[in-house]
Amino acid sequence: MDNLKNTPEEKKVPINFIHQIIEAYIDNKKNNRAVHTRFPPEPNGYLHIGHAKSICLNFGTAQKYNGLCNLRFDDTNPAKEDVEYVDSIREDVKWLGFDWGNREYYASDYFEQIYEYAIKLINKGKAYVCDLTAEEISENRGTPTKAGIESPYRDRSVDDNLSLFQRMRTGEFKDGEKVLRAKIDMASPNMHMRDPVLYRIIHTDHHRTGNKWCIYPMYDFAHGQSDSIEKITHSICTLEFEVHRPLYDWFIKELEIFAPQQIEFARLNLTYTVMSKRKLLQMVQEKQVNGWDDPRMPTICGLRRRGYTPESIRNFAEIIGVAKRDNMIDVALLEHCIREDLNKKAQRVMAVLNPLKVIIDNFPDNLIEETDAINNPEDEKMGKRKVLFSKELFIEREDFMEDPPKNYYRLSPGKEVRLRYAFYIKCVNVVKNLLGEIIEVHCTYDPETKGGSSPDKRKVQGTIHWVSAKHAIETEIRLYDRLFTKENPDDVEEGKDFKSYLNTDSLKIIKGKIEPFIKTAKVGEKFQFERIGYFCADKDTTENNLIFNRTLTLKDSWTKEEKKNK
Ligand code: ATP
Ligand code: MG
């Protein structure tokens, strides 16, 4: 019941399996019914839409059960982490609409405590310092069907281990020279239980602890303990940690500390994109995209710049729900969510992206007519605006055909169409250049049809948008397409890598003509260009150079698919 609710129509999602577990926990009065979750990113990259799912789940669960949700940075690897990432993560979680109050924590704040935990394991004879190299440790690990080989250092005395571990801390050894390992079972069918490494030596400054430490706990030795220290009741994480759970439970048991309940769910995979931070970082570094916030990226900052709203992403997370098995979500569903939201909110304007000049022969040369246009038919409160009409206009090239097929309802010789909010016009003539291309369309207008209807109830079949040539503002428009040509770019054929599937045509920059109202656009503001799509003012916008990102077109392939399936 927790999967298969990907229909956008279905607003009321049945309670998911994680919430079922939490409700049973509340019924059993465990921990005084407290519900405490956390979102635990590693600050080694920007957050993406998959993280958004985890954020919505962790913060949303806490909200639903009157609990709390912490923001905790799992910053155990100084070599890959940076404050730039910390700052971006804080910004993105906030933007999504969640608040962690004063509960912003860092695994690095617990380094001393985690060190004490390691000492405790050593004292119990459950951890030892090992001199094998990383390669030797990996070779000796065995395979799932073949037991590993015990380290020759496994039986060092507690005192030796305490002293060596202390010397590791004080910086006597070089990177990789020694590690601290748990002493569990080299024959365990679970590879994670085969004496995993707990601490390694890294002589690198940490973005928070500076040069205080040169030994750092492994993620597996920090994550569960950090949850425990924060008294997290439900450690919600993705499926790949299911096999780590016995190890986390072992640590909790041996250390005799508070035991969070770990619950795994399937990570979000989206079609036509990649979601691994490593791969996203690679695309940024190799400049296949223009930074982490490139509007083609699946990052939260990329989606924001593209014109996505927090509401649309939260709604998406709710609709996809949580599943116990890996699945792939059609990106068209995410697009459906933003269309639905922008349809309700976006200011309408008329914009012409592929202009063709129209001259109204019977319109007085210097006359300017003003007509009323509706700002958003979905929201009366957004009111109306004036649009200016003059003798020379632009329409879309696609809205005129000299020799149209039968069911073409737009402008063609002898045909009359309605100009949105303005007048009926009829094409009387076309002017071509030497190449035979149409450069001007001459029309007449009917002054009686101001506002878009005729007193004699004469019908026209088409309505097209337009802008007044002398009033229109020329702007830069960035048209985005999918970043990858393959539905699952992670599924690579031999001899290729995920970048082989990059869409080389994913960004087109054009010029557009937009009605003067657009001058008021502020960075981040969203518009529906009538009949074309949703657009958002880019951060590179200046007063004299307006730049718009196409969020997406109006066509909704998700609902079309849905209809087809019915
Ligand atoms: P990488 O992409 O390198 O595998 P990561 O995405 O796991 O790293 P973290 O910073 O550890 O990066 O993720 C923070 C939290 O977000 C974790 O709890 C993780 O399980 C969750 N998360 C990450 N990716 C997804 C995803 N695609 N869907 C749902 N949750 C995710
Ligand atoms: Mg991770």
Average pLDDT over residues 242-247: 97
The residue from 465, 484, 504 where one domain ends is: 465
Residue 3 has pLDDT above 70, yes or no: no
Q: Is residue 303 part of a domain?
A: no
Are residues 73 and 104 part of one domain?
yes
Q: What is the pLDDT of residue 286?
A: 97
- What percent of the chain stands above pLDDT 90? 93
Ligand 1 atom 3, closest CA: 277
Residue 7 has pLDDT above 80, yes or no: no
385 DSSP β-pair partners = 373
Q: How far apart are CA 265 and CA 371, in angstroms?
A: 55
Q: What is the pLDDT of residue 559?
A: 58
For the chain, how many residues are written? Answer: 566
Are residues 490 and 447 part of one domain?
no
The residue from 236, 265, 294 where one domain ends is: 265
**Average pLDDT score, the chain:** 94
**Tens of pLDDT, residues 368-391:** 999 999 999 999 999 999 999 999
Ligand 1 atom 15, closest CA: 41
Are residues 413 and 499 part of one domain?
no
Q: Is residue 306 part of a domain?
A: no
Q: Is residue 169 part of a domain?
A: yes
Average pLDDT over residues 544-561: 83
Residue 155 has pLDDT above 50, yes or no: yes
Mutational test site, ligand 1, from 38, 61, 267, max ligand atoms within 8 Å of CB: 267
**Tens of pLDDT, residues 207-217:** 999 999 999 99
Q: What is the pLDDT of residue 430?
A: 97
Q: How far apart are CA 500 and CA 492, in angstroms?
A: 9
Average pLDDT over residues 471-499: 95
Q: What is the pLDDT of residue 565?
A: 45
**Tens of pLDDT, residues 40-65:** 999 999 999 999 999 999 999 999 99
Write the CATH number for 338.
Answer: 2.40.240.10
Q: How far apart are CA 377 and CA 208, in angstroms?
A: 51
Residue 25 has pLDDT above 50, yes or no: yes
Residue 355 has pLDDT above 70, yes or no: yes
Q: Indicate the SS3 state at residue 527.
A: strand
Ligand 1 atom 18, closest CA: 237
Are residues 501 and 408 part of one domain?
no
**Tens of pLDDT, residues 401-430:** 999 999 999 999 999 999 999 999 999 999
What domain count does the chain have?
3
Average pLDDT over residues 525-549: 96
Are residues 434 and 364 part of one domain?
yes
Residue 435 has pLDDT above 80, yes or no: yes
Are residues 518 and 392 part of one domain?
no
- 275: Cβ below 6 Å to ligand 1? yes
Worst-scoring range by mean pLDDT, 165-169, 341-345, 405-409? Answer: 405-409
Are residues 169 and 118 part of one domain?
yes
Residue 557 has pLDDT above 90, yes or no: no
Ligand 1 atom 16, closest CA: 51
How far is residue 60 from each of residues 48, 54, 317, 490, measured CA to CA in Å?
Answer: 18, 9, 10, 30
Are residues 546 and 404 part of one domain?
no
- Per the CB < 8 A criterion, the answer to whether 318 and 311 are in contact is no
CA 197 to centroid of ligand 2, rounded, Å: 17
Average pLDDT over residues 178-206: 97
Catalytic residue among 169, 231, 267, 531: 267
Average pLDDT over residues 256-274: 97
Q: What is the pLDDT of residue 555?
A: 84
The residue from 465, 500, 530 where one domain ends is: 465
Are residues 235 and 204 part of one domain?
yes
Tell me the helix, strand and coil percentages in the chain, rounded to 5.
30, 25, 45
**Tens of pLDDT, residues 91-137:** 999 999 999 999 999 999 999 999 999 999 999 999 999 999 999 99
Are residues 203 and 164 part of one domain?
yes
**Tens of pLDDT, residues 282-330:** 999 999 999 999 999 999 999 999 999 999 999 999 999 999 998 899 9
Are residues 239 and 196 part of one domain?
yes
Q: Is residue 311 part of a domain?
A: no
Residues 6+ apart with CB under 8 A from 378: 343, 344
> Running DSSP on this structure, what letter comes out for residue 261?
E
Average pLDDT over residues 526-530: 98
User: What is the number of the ligand closest to the CA of 45?
Assistant: 1
- 267: Cβ below 6 Å to ligand 1? yes
Residue 563 has pLDDT above 80, yes or no: no
Across 241-286, the runs of DSSP E, i.e. the strands, are: 261-265
Q: Residue 204: which domain range?
A: 1-265
Are residues 39 and 21 part of one domain?
yes
Residues 6+ apart with CB under 8 A from 446: 423, 424, 425, 426, 454
Q: What is the pLDDT of residue 353?
A: 98
Residue 558 has pLDDT above 70, yes or no: no
163 phi, psi to nearest 5 deg: -70, -45
- Per the CB < 8 A criterion, the answer to whether 536 and 521 are in contact is no
Residue 10 has pLDDT above 50, yes or no: no
- Confidence band of 543 (pLDDT split at 50, 70, 90): confident
Write the CATH number for 172.
Answer: 3.40.50.620
